Structure 1
Amino acid sequence: MSKKQRLTTAVLCAVAWIVADQLTKAVFKQILAPGDVKSFLAGSLVILPIYNHGAFLSLGAQMSDATRNMIFIYGVLAILIGLSVWLFRSSRLGRTEVVAIACIVGGGLSNLFDRCVYGGRVFDFLNMGIGPLRTGIFNVADVGIMLGVALLLLAGMKRKPTSPGSAAA
């Protein structure tokens, strides 16, 4: 992919995740009051609005505000900047890796926006599962991040190994 193609693909993909996440959050903030729970598909999909101080599965929610902000605002920002630099500087990335990184960056930026606007919290509202086997509560940005990570892992497994000193494909 040319640099222009990488940039166009990445920006469109990242913006799509940001828009989808922020729109769904706005919709569910409007139609659900705190404490409301809506169940769909025989309980397989549950919508319940919460503001999460932590990360995935509320990881880090018990940390002090200063530590949590340092990690979840400044640390995440550093990771997103690093991924963006990698995306725009590496000519070896294929379309799958470009889309994967853009998914992570878009989802990460959307959750970072929430943290900056809502006092270090992220609005989550989705829960899925069957019976007692359930996910944590998450949002659309989290789906983008997880999809991006999965795509990067998949692309890494598909990449042919190169011997030391040979030109990478």
Structure 2
Amino acid sequence: MTEQTFSLKQSGVRWLWLAALIFVADIAIKLVVMDNMGYGWANRIEILPFFNLLYVHNYGAAFSFLSEQGGWQRWLFTAIAFTVTAMLTYWMSKLPATEKWNNVAYALIIGGAIGNVFDRVVHGFVVDYLDFYWGSYHWPAFNLADSAIFIGAAMIIFDGFRHKESK
């Protein structure tokens, strides 16, 4: 066994299984939604007084950012996701596998990013299905991939504050 192979096995890339799990779960849920739900807000399924399931398309990014553009944003967001994925994977390769917090955060972001990239490349849009609301105000619909990205980013931000306080 070479030294390079040994170091990769001991690095944070061992946590990429979590990214793969997020990706598979995200795509599976999206396929179930696409195959079993009618499109649009009129076909939503009310689950709780503040939560619906629905099937909508998002041609943009978070909060439908740039969704009204001519389609170029699809490739911009794809390129950004691949760049961020490569960067986070590289960082994971430099972290020890025992550094769970950051490796989990990076894996969540990678899994979510690749889940949404899959949608952009295959469908030309991202499938969203989670609708939280209060009264008549609805948070923009999102999906498991978006949730994983958000949680991973929040973990990174929290870790930044945590380390500042300890220094």
TM-score normalised to structure 1 length: 0.84
1:92 CA drift (Å): 9.9
Aligned CA distance change for structure 1 residues 57 and 93 (closer, same or farther; 3 Å):
farther
In 2, the alpha carbon distance for the partners of 1:11 and 1:92 equals 10
1:22 CA drift (Å): 1.0
In 2, the alpha carbon distance for the partners of 1:81 and 1:110 equals 15
1:53 aligns with one of 59, 72, 75:
59
CA contact (8 A) 1:50 1:124 kept: yes
1:12 CA drift (Å): 1.6
CA contact (8 A) 2:60 2:74 kept: no
In 2, the alpha carbon distance for the partners of 1:83 and 1:118 equals 25
CA contact (8 A) 2:54 2:130 kept: yes
Alignment partner, residue 158 of structure 1: 162
Please say if 1:105 is aligned against 2:103: no
Matches of residues 1-169 of structure 1 in structure 2 within 5 Å?
Answer: 3-5=8-10, 6-8=12-14, 10-35=15-40, 36-42=43-49, 44-66=50-72, 68-91=73-96, 94-119=99-124, 121-160=125-164
Say which is worse superposed, 85-94 or 96-105, in terms of deviation: 85-94
In 1, the alpha carbon distance for the partners of 2:112 and 2:27 equals 10
**For 1:34, what is the secondary structure of its paired residue?**
coil
Structure 1: tracts of 5 or more residues without a match: 164-169
In 1, the alpha carbon distance for the partners of 2:107 and 2:165 equals 24
Higher helix residue share: 2
Structure 2: tracts of 5 or more residues without a match: 1-6
The AA in structure 2 aligned to 1:84 is: T
CA contact (8 A) 1:87 1:93 kept: no
Q: Could you say what the CA RMSD is over the residues aligned between the two structures, in angstroms?
A: 2.1
CA contact (8 A) 2:129 2:142 kept: yes
1:161 CA drift (Å): 6.4
The AA in structure 2 aligned to 1:127 is: D
Q: How many residues align?
A: 158
